[in-house]
Structure 1
Amino acid sequence: MLKEITDPNNNKLKWIDITNPEKEELQEVARQYGLHEALLNDCLQPDHLPKYESMEDYVFMIFRIYTDQETPEADSVQELTHKIAIFYSPDFIITVHRKPQRVINELEDLLNDGHCKSCRHILNLLIRLCLLTYDVPSNKAARHLEYFEEQVFIRTRKVPLLRALYFLKRKIDVTRRMLILSNEIIDNIDTAEGDVNTRDTRDLYIRLHNVYDSLSENINQLLNLYFSVSSQRTNETMRVLTVFSVFFMPLTFVVGVYGMNFEYMPELHTKLGYPVVLFVMVMITLAIYLWFKRKGWL
């Protein structure tokens, strides 16, 4: 669906928004504005990564925004983000996307309120709104990290915890990669001719980049700590089992000796043989206990 959005107070602004485009529809717009065929193909690829390409009369950009319909186990580029293709020149701006996007509606409201002065201003606001879609997920990921950290150190370890940590790590890594690939777009928006608005967009980008770098580092450290704590708990369990086995090994040996049923075993015919053997077993156990206590193993 093609929609031409105009500012009632500024006839020089020309913004065309295309939702769920058909190839014929794109080709008609391409003929009208002289758009390259290869860039039209990029518009139709749902999994295309962020890019910036400068042509003779216009600039082509692909920016990926964070989805509003995130699922707990979403971990791919298409599941976590949506694509917006942008054709920009000082005379026009064309946006292409498959589904209706909240950022487009917000930008249209800003345009109607008279906040946009030029196509460059529209582009800067659009990129800023796209970047802001990564803000709420970063806060959500930080809260999840705090929860998982508590589970690792305080609560009893559960099997689903590792699965949840994996999907959180995937989300952070995918989002961080989208921001890294968008760096060229931000650099070309905030050039030497930039103003306070473009610098504000760059500041937002740098802040989000640092936030996701920090989240990525924290999730990797938490995974390492998770495996370290798991190993420690396994070692504690093995230590307890080893202590019990050391107590029972000599007792098992004594029982095994007197369970061989040889005919000529003098102790079998002694009246005090049974209590003596029990006393010896108790003394062996006590000796092992005192030795472990002295070594600090108990």
Structure 2
Amino acid sequence: MILLSYFEPETSNWRDCPLAQLPTTIPADARLWINLNDASQDEQQQILQRFAITATLAEDFSRQRHPPKLESQSDFTLLIMRGYADADFSEYTGSAQVNLLYSNQVLISKISCNNPTLLQQLKPQIQTAKSSHIADWVKQFILTVSASYLEKLINFEDEQSELEDVMLHSGNDEKMTLIMRYRSVLRKINRNLAYQKDIFSDALYEEHSPLLRQFSTTEIRDFYEKFERLHSMTDMYYDQLSDLVEGYLSTTSHQINERMKVLTIVSTIFIPLTFIAGIYGMNFVYMPELQMPTAYFTVLIAMALGGVSGLIWFKIRGWW
């Protein structure tokens, strides 16, 4: 289903408009928003052909999943962005895919988002009896996408601090599993943010960037700084979680080494004693020591002295 909102300059009002009733040439002071969220593939193609969108842009716009991208033709600009739709970083069910095709008068949007609140925020703000600038709508999309990450990252700072305290005093495998899940999610959203940061970074240094048609250099720099800050935050949190993992593994390895040291000391002491017991446990007929009245007690005393001497030696050497 195609949803069209058309601003008529004659009446200065917005109205729902069937595609068949659209004027062949849209007046300069008219505005049009076409919502393709629930449109079929055939309906999408109908709209794209109606506005003569090139095949390359049409293909990228129609895809369900596409990395963030900025591209343009003579009249229309394609902007693809990804927002964060999950409640926190404990799971990653998929990004909010925001596909936009826009000109000075027309905005064509297709948004895939499983978060109703974020989906509502990603709707252009239509003011009754007032025309809107397409650039303002696009700016709203950009700021909403960046805000979808920022809120989660700010909340995650407190949770990570708690994780650091827990891992310091009572780290366990359950917490390690949670940390590894967080790292996986942060790595995925870091890629999305890197793409989007590069879009605005390139626009700052390209003289003919499509974004310069609607936005000033100051606005583009602001977009870039927002996504650069988000990208830096995910890098920082990922590195801090990696430090927690390495610290936990180092602590666990040290604990294992301590246990192995105790087992080694015990083994070192009992191996000679086992050797002696093994010798006198052999069933040879001629063993002179067996005829000695004090042989049993002599061997026990010798074994005890050997064990104690080993412990004293380890203590002197600082191995125990």
TM-score range, shorter chain: 0.7 to 0.9
Call closer, same or farther: CA 1:4–1:105 in 2, change over 3 Å. Answer: farther
Q: Which amino acid aligns with 2:182?
A: L
TM-score, scaled to structure 1: 0.84
Q: Which amino acid aligns with 2:199?
A: I
Call closer, same or farther: CA 1:220–1:156 in 2, change over 3 Å. Answer: closer
Call closer, same or farther: CA 1:200–1:13 in 2, change over 3 Å. Answer: farther
Match 2:68 to one of 27, 47, 50 = 50
The answer on whether the counterparts of 1:190 and 1:199 sit within 8 Å (CA) in structure 2 is: no
Summarize deviations over 1:59-111 as a string: whole Å, max 9, x none: 1011111123668453xxxx331211001212222111235754452354744
1:259 aligns with 281
Q: Shift of residue 40 of structure 1?
A: 2.8
Q: Which amino acid aligns with 2:189?
A: T
Q: Which amino acid aligns with 1:57?
A: D
Match 1:177 to one of 162, 183, 191 = 191
CA–CA distance in structure 1, aligned partners of residues 49 and 67 of structure 2: 25
Q: Which amino acid aligns with 2:302?
A: V
2:207 aligns with none
Describe how 1:138-287 pairs up with structure 2 within 5 A: 138-158=153-173, 160-187=174-201, 188=203, 191=212, 194=216, 198-287=220-309
Q: Shift of residue 175 of structure 1?
A: 0.3
CA–CA distance in structure 1, aligned partners of residues 49 and 149 of structure 2: 35
CA–CA distance in structure 2, aligned partners of residues 237 and 47 of structure 1: 51
CA–CA distance in structure 1, aligned partners of residues 104 and 298 of structure 2: 103
Moved more, 187-196 or 224-233: 187-196
CA–CA distance in structure 1, aligned partners of residues 69 and 147 of structure 2: 19
Call closer, same or farther: CA 1:181–1:71 in 2, change over 3 Å. Answer: closer
Which fold has the larger relative contact order, with Cα–Cα distance below 8 Å and residues 6 or more apart in sequence? 1
| Structure 2: gaps (5+ residues) | 15-28, 204-209
Q: Shift of residue 242 of structure 1?
A: 0.6
Call closer, same or farther: CA 1:119–1:290 in 2, change over 3 Å. Answer: same
Q: What SS is found at the alignment partner of 1:133?
A: helix
The answer on whether the counterparts of 1:17 and 1:95 sit within 8 Å (CA) in structure 2 is: yes
Percent of pairs with identical residues: 24
CA–CA distance in structure 2, aligned partners of residues 27 and 73 of structure 1: 34
Moved more, 118-127 or 200-209: 200-209
The answer on whether the counterparts of 1:59 and 1:89 sit within 8 Å (CA) in structure 2 is: yes
Q: Name the count of aligned residue pairs.
A: 293
- Give me the CA root mean square deviation: 3.0
Moved more, 85-94 or 23-32: 23-32
| Structure 1: gaps (5+ residues) | none
2:55 maps to 1:37: yes
2:94 aligns with 80
Describe how 1:283-298 pairs up with structure 2 within 5 A: 283-298=305-320
Q: Which amino acid aligns with 1:22?
A: S
Q: Shift of residue 14 of structure 1?
A: 2.8
Summarize deviations over 1:215-246 as a string: whole Å, max 9, x none: 22223333333332332222222111111111
TM-score, scaled to structure 2: 0.79
1:121 aligns with 136
2:2 aligns with 2
Q: Which amino acid aligns with 1:186?
A: F
CA–CA distance in structure 2, aligned partners of residues 243 and 115 of structure 1: 85
CA–CA distance in structure 2, aligned partners of residues 114 and 233 of structure 1: 72
Summarize deviations over 1:92-147 as a string: whole Å, max 9, x none: 22111235754452354744389995111211111110111112332354445444
CA–CA distance in structure 2, aligned partners of residues 156 and 72 of structure 1: 18
